[in-house]
Amino acid sequence: MSANEVVTEGVEALTLTNGKDGSGDDMVATGVEVVVQDDDIVNPWSVTSSTDAGVDYDKLIKRFGSSKIDEELIARFEKITGKPAHHFIKRGIFFSHRDLHSILTLKEQGKPFYMYTGRGPSSESLHLGHLIPFIMSKWLQETFDVPLVIQLTDDEKTLWKDLTVEAAIKLSRENAKDIIAMGFDLDKTFIFNNLNFMGSCPALYQNVIRVQKCVTFNQVKGIFGFGDSDIIGKIGFPAVQAAPALSSTFPFIFGKNKVHCLIPCAIDQDPYFRMTRDVAPRLGYPKCALLHSSFFPALQGAKSKMSGSEQNSAIFLIDTPKQIKNKINKYAFSGGRTTIEEHRTYGGNPDIDVAFQLLKFFLEDDVQLEQVRVSYSKGELLTGELKKLAIETITPIVERHQAARKLVTEELVDKYMEIRPLKFAK
């Protein structure tokens, strides 16, 4: 390939030839900001859809070149782990993957691997949507019994947001407290923020440089849409997010072993790891495997994802029960009808109703969830009653988290962020 062609795996979904992706659908794209005919935009910094139902994930799988999590894969997962699949997987919240079969084979053979996920700290408190990859990561860590590294990309937020280095570091520690409050095993979990860890562990910077040597400016332009006026920090950052997928970034955990990596993340982060999967074999490492989640909807509806920058689009983990109740009642987009009479006659649409989507994520009882869906679809359950159930489900989760977070001291944060060996089967 010539220098201006993108060689990253799957990037054909993002970089177009003659305005086509090969499937016959006209698209307009600037890097990862892909606009298809139905106006879905998915990139690491923006997610929007023109429809109340939100992003078309089947199309997204096709365009990103990933694989759908199907019943056969779920059955293999349950057979190898001996546990029922998490409701996030069964309900299609985690819906797509890359090479999950390879991870299951490693588990089947008793061979080691590790997990990696992250958070970009842009606000002092996480919101409900931020919990999704961490809930999944914690469950997977316990199910597979493997170490987990959690990257806090405070450098990214300094580059993309109006944040000083000092402010970003402070936010990373506050976000670390929310993550720790979820109960991750200290002996198997390492949390680090880039702005501090880069100076403490030479292996991170060394791997960043190795990745940067493998990716040209034309390639990152094609993958991420960077332009000539973007600051140079943005152009170099993708290598920083890629490096933790190489096990030698953590010599104090893995030594010189080249260990496979599994990354649970929202699918908007996939461009980073398509780049990583292209580079890893050239550096002598296995390709990272990925589990992709769908987007947690804003209260105003699935046309956009819940955002920490929009106070009324999100339920934050610091919100009071009164705030949660008011936000859901006032802002949660309804799939109900205009009048009670119409709703009783024609029923509501749970697929676009945000209160139902909250239950889909957080109500663990499959039987109860299906009963709610059917009852709402038939018009037996009214919108107000559905919102009340969502409030009753969400509020205790937030309250339990707040109680756990109060127990997270600065000393405990230091322990999770201490450079140290982790316990795992080598």
* Model pLDDT for residues 351-406, shown as the tens digit of each residue: 999 999 999 999 999 999 999 999 999 999 999 999 999 999 999 999 999 999 99
Q: How far apart are CA 11 and CA 119, in angstroms?
A: 23
What is the per-residue burial (b if ≥16 Cβ within 10 Å, else e) of 337-357? beeeeebeeebbbbebbbbbb
Q: What pLDDT score was predicted for residue 375?
A: 98
Q: Note the maximum CA span of the chain.
A: 68
Give the end-to-end CA distance of the chain in Å, rounded to a whole number: 39
397, burial (CB in 10 Å: exposed 0-12, middle 13-18, buried 19+): middle
CATH 1.10.240.10 in the chain, residue ranges? 310-405
What pLDDT, on a 0 to 100 scale, did the predictor assign at position 12?
A: 33
Q: What is the pLDDT of residue 60?
A: 87
Spatial separation of the C-alpha atoms in residues 322 and 354, rounded to whole Å: 18
- pTM across the whole model: 0.88
Q: Is 419 helix (H, G, I), strand (E, B) or coil?
A: coil
Return the pLDDT at 57. 86
Q: What is the pLDDT of residue 63?
A: 87
H or E segment at 151? strand 148-152
| CATH 3.40.50.620-classified regions of the chain | 46-298
pLDDT computed for residue 32 by the predictor? 43
pLDDT digits (tens, 9 = 90+) for 175-206: 999 999 999 999 999 999 999 999 999 999 99
The CATH code for residues 46-298 is 3.40.50.620
Phi–psi pair at 204, nearest 5 degrees: -65, -50
Token digits of residue 363: 């109500």
Task: State how far the Cα of 94 lies from the Cα of 417, in Å rounded to an integer.
Answer: 28
> Which fold is adopted by the domain 310-405?
Tyrosyl-Transfer RNA Synthetase (1.10.240)
The pLDDT value given to residue 36: 40
Segments of the chain scoring below 70 in pLDDT: 1-39, 41-53, 302-311, 425-426
- Strand 148-152 and strand 113-119: pairing? parallel
